[in-house]
Structures are given as C-alpha cells and as structure tokens.
A and B are shown apart, each in its own frame.
Chain A
Amino acid sequence: MNENKQALQVAALKDGTVIDHIPCDKLFQVVSLLGIKNMDSNVTIGFNLDSKKLGKKGIIKVADKFFSDEEISRLSIIVPNVKLNIIHDYEVVEKKEVHMPDELRGIVKCPNPKCITNNEPMSTWFHVIDKENGILKCHYCEKEQNKENIKLL
C-alpha cells in the first residue's frame, strides 16, 4: 500500500527510462553525468525517498529518453549496481545493467597535478585496467587511481 502511494508521488511514465535505487549521496552526480540539465524531456528526480533496500534512495525518471550504452557505462564509476528500467507504454520492457567500460573519456579528473590533462585544455582519458576493483590508469601520465577516490570533471 505504502509503495503504491510512493509510486503515485512520482508520476508514472509512459515511455522512457527509470533509474531506481540510487544511493542518495550519488544522486546528483548521476544527474550531472547523464547531462540531464541540458535535456528537453520531462524529468522527475526523487531525493530521500523511502526504500526498503537502502533506507533512503534517489530515483530519476526521464520521459521519452533511452540512454545509449556509452551513456550508461559512464554511470559505472559511481553507481555500478543500479539498473535502468526501460519503459514502453507503462510497462518495463527491459532492465539494463551498468557495465564498466574499457575506457573513460572526459568524465573523470586525473588526481596527478603534474599530469598534462590538468594543465592543457584537453580531455582526460582513462583505461580501466581492473574492472572488478575499479582501477583506472591515466592514458597520459600513466598514474593509477581507484574508483573510490575519483573526482568527476
């Protein structure tokens, strides 16, 4: 009953994508990574909603938008365990998992202040050298970092 009410709080989606069970502290990073600010779609962002799984959770519903695999894989560095529900005609037709990509371009900042990417107007580029532990290696300065410590650009 309670869940139904909550579902009513956030508008039901006819077509689009629902990203549910986002840890609250990651919600706004996800919003920014997906570039929602620049979208024309009808977007609902739920913050601090009650969740059986997480206690509190975030949720994002984007109408009439289906993210590409590249866009989805960006999420892997901050929310590797979320699933995307693809909605057609009010039904979940597909659940997409987030997979760690082989490389990340222009998303993450290199932690090395002496790296060229922090000193030139250019994109960063990381190779994911260990998907399980989320270890990224800078294509330029070759320094490694763990995904726990990453900073987004």
Chain B
Amino acid sequence: MKNRSFVTIAEHSKEKILYLLKMAEEFEQRPNRKILDGKVVATLFFEPSTRTRLSFETAVNRLGGRIIGFSDASTTSSTKGETLKDTILMVSNYADLIVMRHYLEGAARYASEIAPIPIINAGDGANQHPSQTMLDLYSIYKTQGTLENLNIYMVGDLKYGRTVHSLLMAMRHFNPTFHFIAPKELKMPEEYKLYCQQNGIKFVEHEDFNEDVIAGADILYMTRVQKERFTDLMEYERVKDVYILKAEMLRKAKENMRILHPLPRVNEIAYDVDENPHAYYIQQARNGLFARQAIICDVLGITLDEIRL
C-alpha cells in the first residue's frame, strides 16, 4: 500500500493543495459527519502542544472516530529509553492513523517510513508543521477568495519561525509577492531568499514596520519576536516594541487585508486590534479544525467524493 502520510507541505503539488482546501471547505459547511466511525486515531505528543492536540482531537471527534494517545512523553515508556521505532510500531498495532508531535527534527519522516499505517506530522522540532500551513493556506484562500497573486507581508521572527518558512514554500505555486519585515537579527535566512529566487518568487525586505509599509498588504502574517532568540539583548530591547501591531497602524490598510497569526500571541498584536475588521487570527485557529479534518480523511484514503455523499 502506498504510504499516504502527511509529513511536509513542500512535497505536495498545487493540485493536491487545492484539493485539500476544497475538502476543508466541505467540512466547514458541515463539520459533524460519521465518516471515521469505527476508526481509532492515536495522538502521540512527545512534546506538549495543547492547541494542536485539541484541534486534531476535535477533528477526529467530530468525524466520529475514537482517540487514544498521550499529551506528554514524560508519562510514557520513551522516558524508560524505548526507541521511537518501538513506540510507533506498538501503537500501529492498535490504531488506524497516528498524529504525532515530536521535539526531534525528522521524527515524523522516520515514523512514516517504518509505520504500516499513515502518519500525520503535527510538528517535528524546528523543522515542519504542515497542518499549520494548511490552515494558513485555507485562511488565506477563504478571506481572499484565491491564493493567486497575493501580497503577503510576514512580520517578526522570520529567522526561526517555521510557520513562515513552510507558508513561503507552499505559496510557491501561486505567484505571491512577499514582504519580509524583521529586525536584522531575525531576518529571513539566505536559504529561503535563494528558494524564492530559484522559484521566481518576488520579495522585498523591510526593517521598518508602520502603516505605510503595510498599506499594500493582502495578508499580514504576524509572528512572535522571542527574547531568547537574541544573542544581543540590547538589540532585543531596541526592537521589541517595533514589531507590535496596533490598531492605528491599520488606517491605510486595503479593505480585503486580513491579519493572521499562528498563535499563541504575547504582545505582538495589541488588544485594540482584536475588534478591528482586519483581525482574523481567532477565526484562523477555527479553520485549523477543517483543514485537519481534510488532512485526516486524505491520509486514510477517504476522497472528496466520499465525504460529499
């Protein structure tokens, strides 16, 4: 059987991405369906991530499946020295699908190679978090009506933020123009700028963050600037308040512009933005449910036609 695992977004074609978005759209219209009746899904969280786990578990529950698993590896035998391989093979005896989060990079890829059942990567260290990317894509698609030819502005920690890197790669099919807004220490890494050049993706870099810079945006993708990322704390003190979005900065924003954030936010979006019509980050998280329902069905071989029945 062909392994249908969902490990990274980069290996999916444009058609596949659009197909999954259509499926998510279907689930948004009717999230409660009994299509996973009789299926058992294992959620293995070797590293805690409450938000992602709740989203996946809700997705399974609303589709009528049952869940086994753990939310913290400290209660499992991996603390006794069991290998990932043994844990995965053991759980494969019980479940139809494994959703896993791991602190080691490449863990989901490896699991997908040894497991007889599909694996969904719910985050592997600093490497990939493809279900987050799917929900970002779905949020963009839903708010803009298309993924084509958009101006996407990424703000904050562009160096370590894996969500911006995955989104950047997934958008390569859709002729975007990127604007990278970040302090020097957290600039978009060279390898991703090279990736843009190789794929014919236009990009502009900024250090300033103000209402004029963001006036051309269709999507404003905010990320958290974390203190522990800085080697130079003076530099952190200098920039920590620069990359905060406030409602007054939205005066020149395009009407269709929406603000996304992978959450959790700390202070990078002021609370006065929440009431603004451009704010979308809370609804964005809700989209994660539909995107994950689509991913789950797809890896289990359930097609769009089948869910429409």
Is A140 on the interface with B (CB-CB < 8 A)?
Answer: yes
Q: Which A92-151 residues have a C-beta within 8 angstroms of B?
A: 112, 114-117, 119-122, 138-144
Is the beta-carbon distance between A120 and B84 smaller than 8 angstroms? yes
Is B216 on the interface with A (CB-CB < 8 A)?
Answer: no
Is the beta-carbon distance between A141 and B106 smaller than 8 angstroms? yes
Across-interface contacts of A142 in B (CB, < 8 A): 8, 105-106, 127-128
Instruction: State A143–B191 Cα separation when bound (angstroms).
Output: 11
Interface size on B, residues (CB 8 A): 18
Q: What's the nearest-Cβ distance from chain A to residue B265, in Å?
A: 26
Instruction: State A117–B107 Cα separation when bound (angstroms).
Output: 9
Q: Which B69-89 residues have a C-beta within 8 angstroms of A?
A: 83-85
Instruction: State A112–B8 Cα separation when bound (angstroms).
Output: 19
Is the beta-carbon distance between A114 and B104 smaller than 8 angstroms? yes
Q: What's the nearest-Cβ distance from chain A to residue B129, in Å?
A: 13
Across-interface contacts of A121 in B (CB, < 8 A): 83, 85
Chain A residues touching B, range: 10 to 19
- In the complex, 29 of the A-B residue pairs with CB atoms within 8 angstroms, ordered by the A residue number, are A112-B105, A114-B103, A114-B104, A114-B105, A115-B105, A115-B106, A116-B104, A116-B109, A116-B110, A116-B124, A117-B110, A119-B104, A120-B83, A120-B84, A120-B85, A120-B110, A121-B83, A122-B110, A138-B106, A139-B109, A140-B105, A140-B109, A140-B110, A141-B104, A141-B105, A142-B105, A142-B127, A143-B105, A144-B191
Is B282 on the interface with A (CB-CB < 8 A)?
Answer: no
- Decide: A117 near B191, CB < 8 A? Known: A122-B85, A141-B127, A142-B127: no
Is the beta-carbon distance between B126 and A114 smaller than 8 angstroms? yes
Instruction: State A116–B110 Cα separation when bound (angstroms).
Output: 8
Is the beta-carbon distance between B83 and A116 smaller than 8 angstroms? no
Across-interface contacts of A143 in B (CB, < 8 A): 105
Across-interface contacts of B116 in A (CB, < 8 A): none
Is the beta-carbon distance between A116 and B105 smaller than 8 angstroms? yes
Is B125 on the interface with A (CB-CB < 8 A)?
Answer: yes
Is the beta-carbon distance between A140 and B106 smaller than 8 angstroms? yes
Contact of A116 among B8, B106, B126 (CB under 8 A): B106
Smallest CB gap from A138: residue in B:
B106
In the A-B complex, the 9 residue pairs with the smallest Cβ-Cβ separation, listed nearest first, are A140-B106, A141-B105, A116-B106, A141-B106, A116-B104, A116-B107, A116-B110, A140-B109, A114-B125
Across-interface contacts of B110 in A (CB, < 8 A): 116-117, 120, 122, 140
Smallest CB gap from A141: residue in B:
B105
Instruction: State A115–B124 Cα separation when bound (angstroms).
Output: 10
Across-interface contacts of A117 in B (CB, < 8 A): 106, 110
Instruction: State A112–B67 Cα separation when bound (angstroms).
Output: 33
Q: What's the nearest-Cβ distance from chain B to residue A63, in Å?
A: 39
Is the beta-carbon distance between A141 and B85 smaller than 8 angstroms? no
Across-interface contacts of B104 in A (CB, < 8 A): 114-116, 119, 141
Instruction: State A117–B104 Cα separation when bound (angstroms).
Output: 9
Most buried by B among A121, A142, A143: A142
Across-interface contacts of A115 in B (CB, < 8 A): 104-106
Smallest CB gap from B102: residue in A:
A116
Q: What's the nearest-Cβ distance from chain A to residue B280, in Å?
A: 30
Is the beta-carbon distance between A116 and B191 smaller than 8 angstroms? no
Across-interface contacts of B127 in A (CB, < 8 A): 141-142
Q: What's the nearest-Cβ distance from chain A to residue B148, in Å?
A: 27
Instruction: State A143–B106 Cα separation when bound (angstroms).
Output: 10
Smallest CB gap from B191: residue in A:
A144
Smallest CB gap from A142: residue in B:
B127
Across-interface contacts of B124 in A (CB, < 8 A): 116, 141
Instruction: State A141–B7 Cα separation when bound (angstroms).
Output: 11
Instruction: State A121–B84 Cα separation when bound (angstroms).
Output: 9
Across-interface contacts of B128 in A (CB, < 8 A): 142
Q: Which B170-217 residues have a C-beta within 8 angstroms of A?
A: 191
